[in-house]
Chain A
Amino acid sequence: MTYTDAKTPNIKHIPAPTDSNPTSFDVHLRGASVEFNGTSLFHDLSLDLSANSFTCLLGPSGVGKSTLLRFLAGLVGDAASGTITCSDKLPLAGRVAYMAQQDLLLPWRSVRENVVLGAVLRGEKPDFSRADHLIAEVGLGKAAHMRPAQLSGGMKQRAALARTLMEDRPVVLMDEPFSALDPLNRMRIQDLAARVLHGKTVLLVTHDPLEALRVGHKVVVLQGTPAILSDAVIPQGTIPRDITDPAILSHQARLLHQLGAISPQTGATEAPQ
């Protein structure tokens, strides 16, 4: 039963930044290597995030997807190495907003106070009118003064999304942000994220092929030991895509096969080895 997200709010499309817009740039990761407990998770990996588009990074658990994302976010210490460059020759640090699987809302702050957290931590004056606008945009208008404990899982991730938007960074890194939600809520928030993050350069790490195909302009798969990135799958159609589209379903079957979940002939689930 869901009681939270009765309808996805109607929102205006945010215009995508143009070529002359300085907030529009590609991100290139080169020679990324990560060692964990002496074993190499991946070595000399390259990943490109195209400006103003969703790149979905898919892969089995423990393959290093999150580490890759966290490296881009500047959250990995000595364990990782590699070079990050942006097409506008400026550093990526400070131009990234981060969203995790947990909502990371502070339980003693209301939704509104959580959304302006970035400004508070930087010692800036919080822009509450913009925060209220974004809270309404993610459909939490009536919950703005509630504490996180009073919200459902879906509402909490919506609040986290509003906080991410509030940062207004050109690059958004999302680490399985919707994986803890039930399927219905997950689809709604995918739609919402696809709309409100339109025009941003997004990296979405997920283990759900359908999620990747729904919102990704480009889907890449990370797998193996040491892990390598597969060629990008670029699905057709406008985002969020229709998951009943046969083309999307066949993409999904191919991805599931690639990830080792099903055999190509029968489509049946393979027994774990």
Chain B
Amino acid sequence: MTPPPTKPARHISRKPLAERKLLKLARPIIIIVALIATWQIVVMVTGAPKYMLPAPYDVWLALTNRHAVLLDHAGYTIAETVIGLFAGALLGALAALPMALFSPIRFWLMPILLVSQAIPFFAIAPLLVLWLGFGMASKIAMAALIIFFPVTVAFFDGLSRTEPGWLDLAHTMGTHRWRLLTHIRLPAALPAFASGFRVATAVAPIGAIIGEWVGSSHGLGYLMLQANARVQIDMVFACLLILCAFSITQYFIVDQLLRRLLPWQPDSLARHD
């Protein structure tokens, strides 16, 4: 028996493999250089003063000259985001599971979930600071809250859409509700949970930053507010850049990890990048 043949490429004419690999590596660099160039051109054309829109070089100076302060505060924000991400995902999974398994819980919990989404998170941030203090706890709670809903909905969806044929098969084999859950429904829902977790990864830093804006003594959000008040706009930009770099890195790590952990999930785009 020979192995199955590889799928034919979707496009008939394609660039050679080496060229495509080079392009794949160069693409982020090209995008970053183009963005910085556009930024520089905007500054030069508009002649914006440094306290309105600093040039890329000014921001670079802020990054290098004050890296100790920046890194110190970034550490707080990163810790809040990562802890909030895992706490929120865990809570989301724990909420979705009973909702998918027991319909009475579903009928009572779903409206509460929807109501929780109707409350603007900006509005409850001050309350969280009031209840949990100026420290990291209120920011972790904020990040966890903001990702709770997407994770819960994605996982619940995955759990309630088990392939009916699998359930039929399990029924004829004779199974128990819990073994059906652990061996079929849970693993079948993991790709959906992963989608929710990816969204959460991208959104979690926003929660932490909102928490820091409302009331804190540490973190990039706090640093940005301070710098803004002192018209150190180059410092604001430096904070933003660090935040972007962290968010992208975090997303990339999570995405790769999920791909490796769930190698069976359908992913038709990845093969044709």
Whether A143 and B1, one on each chain, are in contact in the complex, defined by CB atoms closer than 8 angstroms, is yes
CA distance A175 to B265 in the complex (A): 27
Q: Which of B1, B3, B173, B264 contacts A167 (CB 8 A)?
A: B173
Mostly, the A contact residues are: loop
CA distance A75 to B263 in the complex (A): 32
B117 contacts the other chain (Cβ, under 8 Å)? no
Closest A residue, CB atoms, query B184: A106
Whether A102 and B264, one on each chain, are in contact in the complex, defined by CB atoms closer than 8 angstroms, is no
Whether A117 and B173, one on each chain, are in contact in the complex, defined by CB atoms closer than 8 angstroms, is yes
Whether A75 and B171, one on each chain, are in contact in the complex, defined by CB atoms closer than 8 angstroms, is yes
Whether A147 and B264, one on each chain, are in contact in the complex, defined by CB atoms closer than 8 angstroms, is yes
CA distance A230 to B176 in the complex (A): 39
Q: A269: which B residues are within 8 A, CB to CB?
A: none
Closest A residue, CB atoms, query B180: A121
Q: Mark B255-266, 1 if CB is under 8 A from A, else 0.
A: 000000011110
Indicate whether A122 sits within 8 Å of B173 (C-beta atoms), given known contacts A6-B1, A150-B4, A152-B4.
yes
Whether A107 and B264, one on each chain, are in contact in the complex, defined by CB atoms closer than 8 angstroms, is yes
B72 contacts the other chain (Cβ, under 8 Å)? no
Q: Which of A4, A121, A173 contacts B174 (CB 8 A)?
A: A121
A142 contacts the other chain (Cβ, under 8 Å)? yes
Shortest beta-carbon distance from B110 to chain A in Å: 25
B187 contacts the other chain (Cβ, under 8 Å)? yes
* Most chain B CB inside 10 Å of its own CB: which residue of A94, A98, A102, A139: A98
Closest B residue, CB atoms, query A121: B175
Q: Which of A97, A123, A149 contacts B172 (CB 8 A)?
A: A97
Whether B171 and A74, one on each chain, are in contact in the complex, defined by CB atoms closer than 8 angstroms, is yes
Closest B residue, CB atoms, query A163: B169
Whether A123 and B176, one on each chain, are in contact in the complex, defined by CB atoms closer than 8 angstroms, is yes
Taking A98-B168, A152-B4 as known contacts, 16 extra A-B pairs with beta carbons closer than 8 A to each other, sorted by chain A number, are A3-B2, A70-B168, A75-B171, A100-B168, A104-B168, A106-B184, A106-B187, A118-B173, A120-B183, A121-B174, A121-B179, A121-B180, A121-B183, A123-B179, A139-B1, A167-B173
8 A-B pairs with C-beta separation under 8 A: A98-B168, A104-B163, A107-B264, A108-B262, A121-B173, A121-B176, A142-B1, A147-B263
